[in-house]
Amino acid sequence: MAEKRRMKEAVVPEERYETLRRRIVGILKEEPLSGKDLSVSLRIPERDVYEHLEHIRKTMNKGAYRLAVEPARCEKCGFVFRKRGRLKKPGKCPICRSESLQEPLFSVERAGTKEPGPT
């Protein structure tokens, strides 16, 4: 019996005019967003967003803009995670052990200011 072999069509990747990290920076210049919000708008896994944000934080601090992080906050007792070095949302509050935490928000602003930069 002769088998018919189907030729698979080549998958053409989506044409991009700017890199994913530049898209993230452009989005964060407009408004502060959480990692989850970025994940949804860029259609990539949330853990990938945090890897890109870490790289953006390291490279942007050398230029005119910087990645600003509004720290996570416990919704139950109000504890703010100011000294946290990692960008991901913490698992639970060290004070009350609540897992109801507000995610950190990320934005891009001009170096030396607290205001988001122009687009």
Q: Where are the domains of the chain?
A: 20-110
Question: How do the pLDDT tens digits run along the chain, 119 residues long?
Answer: 555 666 667 666 555 567 899 999 999 999 999 999 999 999 999 999 999 999 999 888 777 889 999 999 999 999 999 988 888 989 999 999 999 999 999 999 987 765 544 44
Own/partner contacts of 36-40, CB < 8 Å, gap of 24 or more, are 36/103, 38/106
Q: Give the single-character DSSP code of 29.
A: H
CB within 8 A of 92, min separation 6: which ones? 98, 99, 101
Report the predicted TM-score, pTM, of the whole model to 2 decimal places.
Answer: 0.74
Strand partners, 116: 109
What is the sign, positive or negative, of the torsion defined by CA atoms of 89, 106, 53, 46?
Answer: positive
Contact criterion met (CB below 8 Å) for 41 and 23: no
User: Into which CATH architecture does domain 20-110 fall?
Assistant: Orthogonal Bundle (1.10)
- Which stretches of the chain are DSSP H helices? 20-30, 35-42, 46-60
Q: How far apart are the C-alpha atoms of 62 and 91, rounded to whole Å?
A: 31
